[in-house]
Structure 1
Amino acid sequence: MSAIPVSTTPRFGDQAALYDQYRPYYPTALFDHILGKVTGRRLAVDLGSGTGRTLRPLTTIFDTVIAIEPDADMAAHIAPSPGLRVQTNTAETATLPAGIDLVCCGTSFHWMDGDAVLSRLAPLMAPGGALAILTYYRPDPGPAAKGVVEQEFAERWNAHKNDGQHRHSAPQRTVGDHPDWQTPERVMIPATYELSADAYAGFFATTSYGAAYLKTLDDPADYLCDLAGRLAAAAGADPMPVSLPVELVLSRPVRAGASA
């Protein structure tokens, strides 16, 4: 396996660059489903934008898109686009206008104060507006290499996971329990990617738990190279097909008076 450069590991370099390199874009079918539920096309807000994985489809559809990202290094990687405004701020404190047609949270809701964010968003939504919480979880390389991944979680990564990352039902439950939001729709959108073993190992380096584990190592690049080698050997192929379905939790404010 080729070494993932030390200059792009969380310990020694730019975590945002690593994220931008190895995080896959969300599938087109996901946004087709979301946009079929949203009436307006004037204003979208993306909370926890990272390096912009949800922004490309939004900026082609909506007149104005506001990207909220608390990490300045991540925000610096967001590609400029007409109608796109970027705030380096949190979902809890960002300046947001009324009349929002769509709010997206791309694998970021578990880092937010969910109740507080939902409370402030509800009165800002336009009629027919919706909230879409997108979350992809553990990429599945198939039965041959799955044992390698399970071993890493059990022996190394689980100890570094945020509590919300252990519960796939957390976004659905948080929205469903909130008095200002309707009972959410939950849909799993399938997606398969052809990833090299290096890219698959690199994906885990972009996760909070993977990055936290790497910080405990003297040579994280060596670990990632070894992991990629074990994945490729177990899979018997490089690149390998990796299943990474996306959970979509979709809801509207109660005051909108329409089902999700």
Structure 2
Amino acid sequence: MSFVLEDRVREATATTGTGAFTLAGAVTGYRSFSSVMVNGDTTWYACVLPGGAWEVGVGTWVTGNTLQRTTVLRSSNANALVSFAAGTKDIFIAQPAVKANVQNNTFPSGTLMLFQQTSAPVYWTKQVSHNDKALRVVSGAAGSGGSNAFSAALNSARVVGNTTITQATMPSHSHSYLVGAAANVIQSNNSFPALTNSVGANTGSAGSDGTHAHAYNIDVQFVDLIICSKD
């Protein structure tokens, strides 16, 4: 599928209403759409009912010599789709005036692009469905997700939630020491006897079982961008 822009392509059509144009063959001295386009190709078209309605837009040629009215750019119906009355119309490939500016022809209509500015450039429309989000590079289909806003997730005052250390969450351990023991503490000569054996004991526990937290700063530098769609 390609975008096609060729000279001297003109046919007649008797299509009425707002449906796809059924092409009736090349006008004498001109070429047919089928001679320059294949199924799925797009082009700029103009369709005119002599002395009546007219329409300019982007059309898609499909097998069966039909031109679908993909996008209306300008028309006699306030730039909307025209419901054509009966009668033979001329339909031809032509560059619309709104596409005559080289800058305006660089990208196909609907192309999305990032800009580092507040307002959209000329021929582009600022998209506002996404706000305060980060960008993610993917190898598959493009989409969006997540639940936390960028500024809320990456601000300068973040604290890990409070945690209370309990017996169950600390390594099992004890602090032991030895206590000497003897049959008689003081002998008759008022001297201390040698310690003959010892027994084990543990220190008492200490602490308040209070909570604590860990503060951290991820105030990442950033540049604001806007998403714009090509008109």
| TM-score between the two structures when normalised by the length of structure 2 | 0.21
More helix by share: 1
| TM-score between the two structures when normalised by the length of structure 1 | 0.19
Structure with more relative contact order (C-alpha pairs < 8 Å, separation 6 or more): 1
Larger Rg: 2
